[in-house]
Amino acid sequence: MSVNKFTIVFVDNLVSRIFKTVELLQQEFENTLVFTKEKELFEYLEDNRPDVVFMNLDLQPNDAVTLLKDIRGRNIVPYPFVIIYSDKQDDFVQELAFNSGADSFISFQYKPAIVSVFLRNLLRRQKRKEAAAVSREIVIDKEQYLIFKNGQSIQLPRKEFRLFELLYNNPERFFNKADIAIEIWNDKAIATKRTIDVHIYNIRQFFGKRVIQSQKGKGYRINKKLIA
């Protein structure tokens, strides 16, 4: 069964190595496209917004890490879910992919069934996200680091997301810097730096200055009434 509103894009110099994967996905997802050159991809992105972009790590002339930085620099909205794939499995390769800003990494060795299952699971999460977007309540999506407020999605960096989640799930409790440093960074030394203050400041920019209360000697606490 095809999924009309789900657009999948592959970026790979050699179509033959992903042919079976693409062929299977085209039977399940109506819009499954392949680009072999950067120029083709960026021309497409000028007027279209895919839901998922798969990139071969070893793209030429620029690898997926370089290409992803270029895409992020263009401020594409809404931003697609980006997956870097490779048949390499060492930790360094995966760390490189995530540090470049990829949302996921797959070492599927061009096995179509694995990619198909992965996408079906991702699609289910997408549907839950869309359902949350129409709600007027605060909804926290831990899988994609999204916060939904009055039907609008807010994407925070991971540490800020986890800090917001910590405070939001414990509205009656004050957290001092030592508590936050251990809970979020697992490093008490962070409490002696300005890191936490900066993260609190950034969260307030999204939700209002009074949303996170601070009290000398006690720490920080969230006021849910000022968020909804």
59, 100 contact by CB (below 8 A): no
pLDDT mean over 60-83: 84
Q: Of 110, 131, 152, which residue sits at a domain end?
A: 131
Candidates 30, 33, 28, 26; CA nearest to 5 is 30
pLDDT mean over 122-145: 69
Structure tokens at 203: 């969260």
55, 85 contact by CB (below 8 A): yes
Q: Of 107, 131, 155, which residue sits at a domain end?
A: 131
CATH number, position 47 = 3.40.50.2300
Q: Is it the case that residue 48 has pLDDT exceeding 50?
A: yes
Global pTM value: 0.55
Region at 51 (left for phi over 0; alpha for psi -120 to 50; beta for the rest): alpha
Task: Tell me how far the alpha carbon of residue 171 is from its chain's centroid.
Answer: 26
Residue 175: inside a domain: yes
pLDDT mean over 85-98: 83
pLDDT mean over 172-188: 94
Structural domain that includes position 78: 7-131
The answer to whether residues 34 and 109 belong to one domain is: yes
Candidates 43, 55, 52, 115; CA nearest to 80 is 52
Residues 24-48: b if buried by 16+ CB within 10 A, e if exposed: ebeebbebbbbbeebeebeeebeee
For residues 108 and 121, the model is more confident at: 121
Candidates 201, 199, 221, 202; CA nearest to 212 is 221
pLDDT of residue 37: 92
pLDDT of residue 2: 45
Q: Please report which confidence band the pLDDT of residue 188 belongs to, taking 50, 70 and 90 as the band edges.
A: very high
For the chain, how many structural domains are there in total? 2
pLDDT mean over 33-52: 91
pLDDT of residue 128: 64
The answer to whether residues 216 and 122 belong to one domain is: no
How many helices (H) and strands (E) would you count in the chain?
8, 10
Q: If you count them, how many residues does the chain have?
A: 228
List CB contacts of 159: < 8 A, sequence separation 6 or more: 184, 185, 199
Q: Of 111, 131, 151, which residue sits at a domain end?
A: 131
The answer to whether residues 33 and 106 belong to one domain is: yes
Structure tokens at 138: 């605060």
How many C-beta atoms surround the C-beta of residue 192 within 10 A? 11
Q: Is it the case that residue 133 has pLDDT exceeding 80?
A: no
Least confident piece of the model among 13-27, 32-46, 69-83, 123-137? 123-137
| Pair type for strands 81-85 and 104-106 | parallel
What is the C-alpha to C-alpha distance for residues 112 and 68, in angstroms, rounded to an integer? 23
Q: Please report which confidence band the pLDDT of residue 154 belongs to, taking 50, 70 and 90 as the band edges.
A: confident
The answer to whether residues 18 and 121 belong to one domain is: yes
The answer to whether residues 48 and 118 belong to one domain is: yes
pLDDT mean over 173-200: 94
Residue 95: inside a domain: yes
pLDDT of residue 104: 87
Element (H, E) at 73: helix 64-73
> What residues are paired with 221 via a beta bridge?
213
Q: Is it the case that residue 53 has pLDDT exceeding 50?
A: yes
Q: Is it the case that residue 119 has pLDDT exceeding 90?
A: no
Grouping H, G, I as helix, E, B as strand and the rest as coil, residue 104 is strand
